[in-house]
Structure 1
Amino acid sequence: MTGAIVYTVTIPGLLRGKGRPRFGNGRTFTDARTVQAEACIQQHAIAQIGSPCLEGPLSVTLTITIQPPRSWSRKKAADAVAGRILPTGRPDIDNQMKTAADALNGIVWKDDAQIVDARLSRRFGPVSQIVIQVWPL
């Protein structure tokens, strides 16, 4: 990855996990909240890096930062931001990656099947955001 072009997209807020497929009227479809989340990711990607639509194998890093709940004490929130408490709740991190990967099909890459290396991490931080970095291999 050294010396390769790195594409970085930062999306404010929380990343929704990929919803299960829905069935109705003899067809399969994606739920509206997942479609909305993917559209938000697409808008930020296009605004920040355009539409490089990369080909070939890719390496992706997805870093999810979650602001501690306001209901937590200052001490507990400080412990969370310092990394002494880790976010282990839902949605599952692999479902969050699926939302981001599907949203960027046809924009950052032709198809998410091109991702051959992926690093996922989820931590507490001062603000909720998602950072996606992509390296052509």
Structure 2
Amino acid sequence: MKSIETFDLFIECKPEPKARPRVGKFGNVYTPRQTAAYENLLRLYIKNKFMTGPLRVEIGIFLLKPKTSKNKFPVVKPDIDNYVKAVLDAMNGFLFKDDCQVVELYAYKQYSVKQGVFIKVHSYEDFS
């Protein structure tokens, strides 16, 4: 496969994991307010781009290191897959039609002096 289009950016913000959907008292299912606000923040940076076809996505989660931590890596909750789900859901319908287009995914979380989210998306043209 050959990469034909690339989109990348770093958003300086506090990374938020995807919270589980909540059920209201009348049975309606909704996204928690904090998760919805985070996804909307990410969408502000990606709204002018739309990619088609198969995609390779790289997501980097950068967290501030707690002063009390002696660990080199953030081997703590929340899990990386919850961070990734929030980022993919934010891009769904904005950067690409549906996250089923993602055929390759690379994700990592690490400590940094700046907290934020790095997103890189490659669109591929299949020559097979």
> Which one-letter code corresponds to 1:22 in the other structure?
R
Q: Distance in 2 between matches of 1:93 and 1:86?
A: 12
Counterpart amino acid of residue 31 in structure 2: T
Shift of 1:18: 0.6
How many pairs were matched up?
A: 123
Alignment gaps of 5+ in structure 1: none
Answering whether residue 99 of structure 2 is matched by residue 112 of structure 1, we say yes
Q: 2:61 aligns to what SS in structure 1?
A: strand
User: Larger strand proportion, structure 1 or 2?
Assistant: 2
* Structure with the higher helix share, 1 or 2: 1
Cα pair 1:15 1:64 within 8 Å, conserved = yes
TM superposition outliers: structure 1 runs of 4+ over 3 Å? none
Aligned Cα RMSD in Å?
Answer: 1.7
TM normalised by structure 1 equals 0.82
Asked if the contact 1:10–1:44 (Cα under 8 Å) also holds between the matched residues in 2, the reply is no
Cα distance in 2 for partners of 1:45, 1:89 equals 29
Q: Do structure 1's residue 124 and structure 2's residue 125 form an aligned pair?
A: no
1:77-135: CA deviation from partner (whole Å, max 9, x where unpaired): xxx6xxxx100111111011100000111111001111010000111112111110000
Give the TM-score of the pair, scaled to structure 2: 0.87
C-alpha separation in 2, matches of 1:35 and 1:7: 23
